[in-house]
Amino acid sequence: MHSISKKAKKMSEIAEKVKAIIIDKLGVEESEVTPEASFTNDLGADSLDTVELIMEFEKEFNVSIPDDQAENIATVGQAISYLEEHAK
């Protein structure tokens, strides 16, 4: 049972860090950063912003996100899911 709560805590920490990075990089309000929010359509990011977000996620979570996979990370929820799966 203990390992489940530990994993849930890690998932929550990842989600909070992802949200903080997005708020910092895009200058949006916390209330706008929902799992279904699109970086470009909802949060106003351009292509350079999305590249910078991916780079920041890589740095913060010590992961390498291949370009073909980065192209599939278009929403807050997709970023959180990817990082929960791949973060070390």
CATH number at residue 64: 1.10.1200.10
Length of the chain: 88
Residue 68 inside a domain? The answer is yes
**46 in active site:** yes
Q: What is the pLDDT of residues 19-67, one digit of tens each?
A: 999 999 999 999 999 999 999 999 999 999 999 999 999 999 999 999 9
* Helix ranges restricted to H, 2-41: 2-26
Count of C-beta atoms within a 10 Å radius of residue 60 = 15
Q: pLDDT band for position 10 (50/70/90)?
A: confident
- Domain range enclosing 37: 11-86
Of 24, 46, 67, 68, the catalytic one is 46
pLDDT(2) > 90: no
Instruction: Give the integer Cα–Cα distance in Å for 35 and 52.
Output: 19
Residue 4 inside a domain? The answer is no
Residue 62 inside a domain? The answer is yes
pTM for this entry: 0.88
